[in-house]
Amino acid sequence: MLVLQNLLFAQPFEQWPYSKFKAYLRDGRVAEVRIDSQTIRGKLTEAESDGPEGRGRKSFTTVRVDDPELISELEKHHVDYRGQYENDLLKSLLSWIVPLSLIFLLWMLISRRMGPGQGVMNFGKSRARIYAERETGVTFVDVAGVEEAKEELQEIIDFLRYPQKYAALGGRIPKGVLLVGPPGTGKTLLARAVAGEASVPFFTLSGSDFVEMFVGVGAARVRDLFKQAQEKAPCIVFIDELDAVGKARGINPVQQNDEREQTLNQLLAEMDGFDPRKGVIILGATNRPEILDPALLRAGRFDRQVVVARPDLEGREEILKLHGSKVRLAEDVDLHVIAARTPGMVGSDLANVINEGALLAARYNKEAVTMDELDEAIDRILAGPAKKSRIMAPKEKRRVAYHESGHTLVAEALPTADPVRKVTIIPHGVAALGYTQQLPTEDRYLYTKEELLDRIAVMLGGRAAEEVIFHDLSTGAQDDLQRASEMARRMVTEFGMGETLGPYAVEQGRQAMFLDSHSPSPKTYSEDIARNIDQEAQNIVERMYQRANQVLTEHRDKLEIVAQHLLAHEVIDQATLATLLSDWRPGKEPQFADS
């Protein structure tokens, strides 16, 4: 505005001192002036303006001073003079009103472009993102490895497509479906696929979108969400991370959060109140179903729970085929072998394996992704990228080689331990100086006491090897000791496998069903029982350490063979290990994950 005013509307006045103005006035070179309270503006005569000095300077301005003779001199030289009254109030108002009006119009324009729920005054509006019928871009074709979950949700899709079929029989479709499972199994992708298959509008938002610092905002957003959903019915409302708003009331009496509980109460009321015949389906997703409020899971709200579990061997292979179809794979790539090498991985991990393999193939300037890149990608995901530039001293490298060989030899010696697929002394990740990778021959869901004890012995095999060879210990077994101690304690406190306590579980409280992390529950037992737990867990670890030490002492020659091969080649795969130990398999027959 200032630039336009100066360029288009401002007249070209030349600033003069008052003395110069009086000199021009006495010489008769001024034609007219306009006088206000502070300035004097005037124009030169036409003859003066056409002269060399005045060309282009027809107008001038100067500051008015207290000069009683000014008017008489103007009359004497026949100068046309006028006074000017300025309305300062109007000028001040205009200088404020016009900019504020422009700011208000700009704010209105931005608010409209931001959409509902995002403006400054729209705290109570729902923040759900709305996708049209085909905007999700995902169908069941894009989802693999969760066939049981897809079958459960097929009924929901059928109802949204043909509601009259269910209405004719008097059937009532579930109001809500809760997708539960570990992180990365595809719960959100499955919900988007349901909307894509049913060809209905899809509302998606996170549980944390309801909760704000302002009291009452969460409940208002719940009301607005259900109001929008019923206007666009039939539709699907997907609430991701439902545990953020649906946590059980009173679960933490120390930290009361009335705002979150008000939001949950409003959600419960809205799910009870809306008409199921309108075709509004509520989909929720969480990996913490154990902490959800029981009122949220009762019949009439989230009627059905669909478990989206970790994929089995066949499911992993289907997921790998789905993501492998998007990259160029070499002809020798066997996705069944890759699926066998990735037990416990979820869909996001498997997608990352394919993507990392493609990135590695591009780094090595290959035309297609081969088994070598996929195998390296699995290692990067499990243990982190290899740190080949990290140079270890020969003494430390020798200790790491015997440490990893100890894990390997104990795993191969014990009858129920998982077979070793790969062992390396190349540093990986942040702190791993080497690692031993074991892979089960099949998917496991239960473990016996003997299998858990063998696992503890394998964890302690590295420390035992250091004691057998060097007669000294190092800090390299820190993580092994922590994991072995935790497993021994859980055997006593949770699994009822202790000798003293027997079939008595002392750990109580809500434990995570689908998360790998294990948080200790509040102590609810006496000091005597705590002393017995510590003593028995310590005895288990000590017995398994002595067992590992005995295996390595009896077969020290095999330990030397494996360690020397590691020092020479840094990596031993499953086939090479079978060759090195061809005449020694005391615990089990050789098994290969890729056979």
> Does 201 count as an annotated binding residue?
no
Question: Which residues are within 8 A (CB) of 169 and not within 5 positions of it... i.e. 6 or more apart?
Answer: none
Helix (H) or strand (E) holding 205: strand 202-206
Q: Which two tokens stand for residue 520?
A: 């200790």
Dist. CA 410–CA 407, nearest whole Å: 5
Question: Radius of gyration over alpha carbons of the chain, in Å?
Answer: 40
Question: Which residues are within 8 A (CB) of 227 and not within 5 positions of it... i.e. 6 or more apart?
Answer: none
Enter the pTM of the model: 0.70
> Does 186 count as an annotated binding residue?
yes
> Does 448 count as an annotated binding residue?
no
| Residue found under tokens 């009627």 | 303
What topology does CATH give the domain 2-86? 3.30.720
SS3 53: coil
Buried-state track 90-127, b at ≥16 Cβ within 10 A, e below 16: eeeeeeeeeeeeeeeeeeeeeeeeeeebebeebbbbbb
CATH of 319-383, one of 3.40.50.2300, 3.20.190.10, 1.10.8.60, 2.60.120.10: 1.10.8.60
Question: Which residues are within 8 A (CB) of 275 and not within 5 positions of it... i.e. 6 or more apart?
Answer: 230
> Does 397 count as an annotated binding residue?
no
pLDDT at 551: 93
Under a CB-based contact definition with an 8 Å cutoff, are residues 210 and 245 in contact?
A: yes
Under a CB-based contact definition with an 8 Å cutoff, are residues 395 and 441 in contact?
A: no
Query: The domain at 129-307 falls in which architecture?
Result: 3-Layer(aba) Sandwich (3.40)
> Does 403 count as an annotated binding residue?
yes
Question: Annotated catalytic residue: which of 259, 404, 412, 466?
Answer: 404
Q: Sketch the domain layout of the chain as residue ranges.
A: 2-86, 129-307, 319-383, 394-580
> Does 375 count as an annotated binding residue?
no
> Does 480 count as an annotated binding residue?
yes
**Contacts by 387-392, CB closer than 8 A, 24 or more apart:** 387/426, 387/427, 387/428, 387/429, 388/426, 388/427, 390/427, 392/427, 392/433
> Does 42 count as an annotated binding residue?
no
Q: Which two tokens stand for residue 448?
A: 């016996």
Dist. CA 458–CA 74, nearest whole Å: 112
Helices (H), 87-204: 88-114, 147-161, 163-169, 187-198
The strand pair at 30-35 and 39-44 is best described as antiparallel
Which residue(s) pair with 306 in the sheet?
179
**Is there a shared CATH topology between the 2-86 domain and the 319-383 domain?**
no
What topology does CATH give the domain 394-580? Methane Monooxygenase Hydroxylase; Chain G, domain 1 (1.20.58)
Backbone torsions φ then ψ of 369, nearest 5 degrees: -85, 125
Dist. CA 553–CA 467, nearest whole Å: 10
pLDDT at 263: 82
Under a CB-based contact definition with an 8 Å cutoff, are residues 116 and 126 in contact?
A: yes
Catalytic site residue 404?
A: yes
Per-residue pLDDT of the chain (595 residues; tens, 9 = 90+): 666 656 655 556 788 888 888 888 888 888 888 888 788 888 888 766 555 444 455 788 888 888 888 888 888 888 888 887 666 666 666 677 878 888 888 888 887 765 544 444 454 555 556 655 455 678 888 888 888 888 888 888 888 777 778 777 777 777 888 999 888 888 888 888 888 888 888 888 887 777 665 556 778 888 888 888 888 878 888 888 888 888 887 665 555 556 777 888 888 888 876 666 677 888 899 988 888 888 888 887 888 888 888 888 899 999 999 999 999 999 889 998 899 888 888 889 999 999 999 999 999 999 999 999 998 898 888 877 777 777 788 899 999 999 999 999 999 999 889 889 889 988 887 667 888 888 887 777 788 999 999 999 999 999 999 999 999 999 888 999 999 999 999 999 888 888 888 888 886 655 666 666 555 566 777 888 889 999 999 999 999 999 999 999 999 999 999 999 999 988 998 889 988 887 666 555 444 334 3
CA angle 227–230–232, rounded 5-degree value: 110
Max alpha carbon distance in the chain (Å)? Answer: 131
